[in-house]
Chain A
Amino acid sequence: MDPMKEVPMTVTVNGERHQLTVPPWETLIECLRDRLGLLGVKKSCEVQVCGACTVLLDDRPVSACTVLAFEARGTHVRTIEGLARGDDLHPVQAAFVEHGALQCGFCTPGMIMATVALLEENPTPTADQVKRYMRGNICRCTGYKRILEAILAASRQPGHAGPGDGR
């Protein structure tokens, strides 16, 4: 097969199917922000250390800054924009608000997407398991106590990991 300068792909983003053609060097964050206008995906460290750009590829949390867009072929990409239903926040979002687990808010979309992935994988994590899982998501404002409290509180909400249709 000849080398490709463009990659055609079908991808579902927050429940909506898209037919896209992307150059192989386009990163997922460029695709999500610049093509699809999903500005909740935050660009920060660009070296997979901070977690601000965390999105889910199917059930896997990834750094959108360092994953190539074509890797989303055939997957369901979930971003912070896909969580709430109108004014009804996702249980994890609601817990972050309730517990004041954010200050400037820049890390928050990544924190919340990582939490969603964690709770889908382990619906009742211990505090230590949460700390370990979330170690790769960095907040430079609040410290982590309230974030930890919010995540544990969310894990006690029934239906927090409610899967399926875009959530």
Chain B
Amino acid sequence: MLRPFELCEPTSVAEASGLLAQHGDAARLYAGGTELLLAMKEGLVHYDYLVNLKTVPGLAGLRRDADGTLRIGAAATHRALEREPLVREHFPALARLEADVANVRVRAVGTLGGNLCFAEPHADPGPLLQVFAATARLERAGGERTVPLTALFRGPYETCLEGDEVLTEIAVPPLPPRSAAAYLKFGYLERPSVGVAVALTLDDGRVADARVAVGCVGPVPCRMPEAEAMLRDRAIDESVAALAEAGRRAGQAADAVTDLHGSADFKAHLVGVLLKRAFAQALASLRDGSPVL
């Protein structure tokens, strides 16, 4: 049973932000509720007011700019992202990730913005959006700012959002030409234990750029600069040969914690395994000439 709360239904971002400013810690933004309502039902958190973001028009939209940047409204559901032709065609790795989030019922209701803002560490989208160098637009009454996804997460269940800020849009720039991305995860519970995202850019038989991010294993998803440096700017074969060591470094750097999803050692090991496989998947899709993002 949920404890009683009151419902606010703003019709603009400024109004939503104003409600957050007015009620402070007694209010929380509510979109899909797939995370928030679980925590509220457990009695872990309580709010006197839920502010329904879905009544603000235009926050669930998806569009692609002339430069190829995908702009995802924060209230777009996983299901919409999984199905949207724009995403499937131009960001197939993201569409595949979204098609595999939790289960079909969660995807039908849960939103990308809610997923990011709840900052549950065992979540899929963070690492892939980080290798895409995605950004988040945060708005409040009278101002807005854009932060990279690498700066959004501060800790488990904690983001850089100020109390009256609203995440309104996630912008995902396209990768350079001759690039491919892949996201792989492993888990035996409802949520993943480990998630690894890779984006590769090839140029003339070389790995011109390699981006790696790891999620779920530690407190926050993060890019792995040390592993990236070992894989980048090398002949493809050299890069492949460096994968084992890059995976070991990424496993160490991921700050793995021991929890119900597995021991820290186990997760660190799996980071290496998934890095190899994700790298191979991205490379194979480039060589096939099939999905190139």
Residues 45-91 of A contacting B (Cβ, < 8 Å): 46-49, 51, 54, 57, 60-63, 66-68, 70
Interface centre among B37, B50, B79, B102 (most CB of A within 10 A): B37
Tell me, rounded to whole Å, the shortest Cβ–Cβ distance linking B22 to chain A.
10
State the majority secondary structure of interface residues on A. mixed
Residues 207-242 of B contacting A (Cβ, < 8 Å): none
Whole-angstrom CA separation of A118 from B47 in the bound complex: 36
Residues 124-174 of B contacting A (Cβ, < 8 Å): none
Tell me, rounded to whole Å, the shortest Cβ–Cβ distance linking A22 to chain B.
10
* Chain B residue total in the interface (Cβ 8 A): 26
Tell me, rounded to whole Å, the shortest Cβ–Cβ distance linking A92 to chain B.
16
A49 and B6 within 8 A (CB): no
Tell me, rounded to whole Å, the shortest Cβ–Cβ distance linking B194 to chain A.
19
Q: Cβ of A24: which chain B residues have Cβ within 8 Å of it?
A: 5-7, 50
A25 and B4 within 8 A (CB): yes
> How many residue pairs, one in A and one in B, have C-beta atoms under 8 Å apart?
74
- Known A62-B109, A66-B41; judge A3-B8 contact (CB<8 A): yes
Q: Cβ of A117: which chain B residues have Cβ within 8 Å of it?
A: 104
Which residue of B has the minimal Cβ distance to A47? B38
- Indicate whether B279 reaches chain A with its CB closer than 8 angstroms: no
- Indicate whether A4 reaches chain B with its CB closer than 8 angstroms: yes
- Indicate whether A5 reaches chain B with its CB closer than 8 angstroms: yes
Which residue of A has the minimal Cβ distance to B50? A24
B105 touches which one: A23, A62, A70 (CB < 8 A)? Answer: A62
B33 and A70 within 8 A (CB): no
A48 and B9 within 8 A (CB): no
Which residue of B has the minimal Cβ distance to A49? B190
Which residue of A has the minimal Cβ distance to B51? A3
Q: Cβ of A25: which chain B residues have Cβ within 8 Å of it?
A: 2-5
Q: List 17 extra interface pairs beyond A25-B3, A48-B34, A135-B103, CB under 8 A.
A: A1-B9, A3-B6, A3-B7, A7-B7, A23-B4, A25-B2, A46-B41, A57-B108, A60-B108, A60-B109, A66-B33, A114-B104, A117-B104, A133-B104, A135-B104, A136-B103, A136-B104
